[in-house]
Amino acid sequence: MTDKEMDGLVQVDQGRDGRARLEYGCLVLAAMGVVLLLAWGAPLGRAGLSLRKHLIEAQALAERPQSLDPAAACELVRDLRADVVTLEGRAGWLARMAPALGWLPGIGGDLRAVPHLLTVGDGLSEAGALACDGMGPALTALGGDGDLSLEGVVQLLVEEQATLEGALTAVERAQDAWSQVDVEALSPWLAGKAALLERGLPLLRAGLSAVTIAPDLLGMDEPCTYLVIALNEDELRPGGGFISGVGEVRVEAGQLISMTFRDSYGVDDFTQPYPTPPDYMRRFMGIDLLVFRDSNWTPDFPTAARQAISLYRPGYTVTVAGVIALDQRAVQEIVAAIGPLSLEGVEEMVTGQSIVAYIRQAWGPEDGETVGDWWSQRKSFMGVIAGAAWQRVQGGKVDWFALAQVLLRLVEERHLFVYLEHPEAEALLAEHGWDGGLGSGAAAGDFLMVLGMNMGYNKVNARVRESISYQVDLRQSPPQATLTLVYTHTGSVDVPCKQEPRYGTSYEDMMERCYWYYVQVYVPAGSQLVDATRIPVPGESLLSGEDEEGGVAVYPVEEGPWTALGVFGLLPPASTQTRSFTWTLPADVVKWENGAGSYTLQVRKQPGTLAHPLTVEVRLPTGSVVTDVAPSATVIEDGGVIYQTVLRQDWRFELRFRR
């Protein structure tokens, strides 16, 4: 073999050796990559699985708040926080790259939402951990495992102010991130979880905002006095029930300093001037001065509360920090939530089921005598109930989470009302629609609110049932609406209809009378009355002695962009009465854009009423077909949509259609 051939063999061997070394090096690098991937991915995978497990547990807790253990919940929140921090640290960069794959079918919407969802999780878990750190003792006490007074809670709120403000900032960060998520583009599984966030985020933010304000409201810096107004919906008013009584509750540094109740007639001072009442009260009730007990003539509670404060004249100077009003239904449900009450002079414990019967019996005169001691003592039960309820809250085992749910529902169903002079607190209530105001009704679109007022000086609303039917015809130009109200008096006692301010021999006697009423219908400004039912009322049944022809008055509403249709009526016991109103609506209740149309209707519930049956029927513009409705309709047919429900709280109906 020549030297040249030997050199060739050496070069071949060297090439093979180089390739071997290269292949070996690649294998080593690949192995190292796998090891690194496992080292990075294994903890990430564990964190992901842990997060999924903890999220399932959190959802289960959210669906069963009545069984919530605060200590266990805080432990779960801290675990979630650890999961989110791990994911953020190890995969934050990957999450930020995910939207680039948003074009993928099926999961593209989820991928585009990933960075925002991670921010939501980060904000919520941080807020939860901070809240648990700051409010641990209070949460333990709320769970029934600790002893912490209201004064102690207020002191804790002051001490942990910075921590709670940090939690609020974290929730606001989460809410801002969630607002950037396109919920409609999410996959069905993920979209199914959206409702919890849609409802929970605003509530959590509101709760944290409230606890940061609470020290001011509970008199930490200076004493606060609140008016507690008792409403009797058996004698209905536009703003709820007749103002039967009023209490002064004074708090200082979280402590209840005093609580006194008196008859609503006992806070008038006629040495001072009084405003003139609405015209219908003067005309049909003979009332010349607007006094404290009639101050809720409006369904807008902030307006009614400010009016009540200005007319509250107990004979001494008092600065009012806010007004809380509640009717019998609210008292009933609050007592059911906090537990039975031990009341002086009552052998058995009074429950949510029996409290209204107790109130009616306590109000009633003994032996039918409505003079003497009865007049001065007939509202004393209010202080008795309030004192017993406070003792129950202070010393009993109260399910605070169940109570909070009841209070929120009572606010939304307009049986409980809160007005605060504190600007930040009042803004918070208004933002969530908890202030009892009509401000949120000013949005564009159709609007309906039916308000009844008892003008008979009796308690007959306990015997009257009402149903509401509303038909809208969008085929006409301008659109036309027809409202039909059906009143049924379920009383069976045959009594003469004579309007007069008198008491009876019992509370039930005042329930078994004729129903003199004034109904107002709030409709959008610019509406024009076309026709209405006329039901004359004979003068012999009225205080004025003058016949009423039953004509409908049309006038602007002071509290917002609406027109009111008002009419006076009389309903004897054991009878049914039907009223109809027809009017044209402003043309802009229907919106059109590129052949797509929309119609929105807000139906507001009158404070103090229960659940009136409600039917809404909308006839679509000619040649239109429905593309979307919210909420789900009872019937969708060619050219129309029908809803059959109850007016337990406000409704908002949204229809979309195309030509």
Burial of 316 (0-12, 13-18, 19+ CB in 10 A): exposed
Distance CA 370, CA 360 (A): 14
Other Cβ atoms within 10 Å of 142 Cβ, number: 20
Q: Where are the beta strands (DSSP E) in 396-514?
A: 416-420, 446-454, 464-473, 480-489
**Omega of the bond leading into 631 within 30 degrees of 0 (cis):** yes
Q: Which residue in 337, 347, 354, 424 sits closest to 389, CA to CA?
A: 337
**Chain centroid to CA 160: how far?**
28
Q: Which residue in 609, 364, 602, 591 sits closest to 467, CA to CA?
A: 609
Contact 601, 497 (CB under 8 A): no
Q: pLDDT band for position 366 (50/70/90)?
A: low
The one-letter amino acid at 542: L
The token pair that represents 552 in the structure block? 């409908």
Q: pLDDT band for position 286 (50/70/90)?
A: very high
Of the CA atoms within 13 Å of residue 124, those in its CB half-sphere come to 26
Phi, psi of 203 (to 5 degrees): -65, -40
Residue bearing the bigger pLDDT, 154 or 207: 207
Q: Which of 111-115, 179-183, 273-277, 518-522 has the lowest mean pLDDT?
A: 111-115
* Tens digit of each residue's pLDDT (9 = 90 or more) over 159-200: 888 888 898 999 899 899 889 988 888 888 777 777 777 888
Q: Which of 470-474, 525-529, 623-627 has the lowest mean pLDDT?
A: 623-627
> If you write DSSP's letter for every residue of 338-389 in order, what string do you get?
H--B--TT-SSPB-TTTHHHHHHHHHSPGGG--STHHHHHTTTHHHHHHHHH
Residue bearing the bigger pLDDT, 214 or 135: 214
The proportion of the chain whose per-residue pLDDT surpasses 90, expressed as a percent, equals: 54
DSSP reduced 3-state for 146: coil
The one-letter amino acid at 301: F
Domains parsed from the chain with CATH numbers: 47-216 (no CATH), 224-431 (3.40.630), 440-658 (2.60.40)
Distance CA 297, CA 275 (A): 13
* Tens digit of each residue's pLDDT (9 = 90 or more) over 40-75: 344 545 656 666 676 666 666 666 655 567 777 788
Residue bearing the bigger pLDDT, 368 or 525: 525
Mean pLDDT of the chain: 85
pLDDT of residue 60: 67
Average pLDDT rounded to a whole number, residues 498-502? 92
Is the pLDDT at 324 greater than 70? The verdict is yes
Q: pLDDT band for position 377 (50/70/90)?
A: low
Residue 218: which residues within 8 A CB-CB, separation 6 or more? 150, 154, 224, 251, 253, 254
Q: pLDDT band for position 38 (50/70/90)?
A: very low
DSSP reduced 3-state for 418: strand
Stretch (H or E) spanning 262: strand 255-263
The token pair that represents 511 in the structure block? 């329930």
Is the pLDDT at 34 greater than 50? The verdict is no
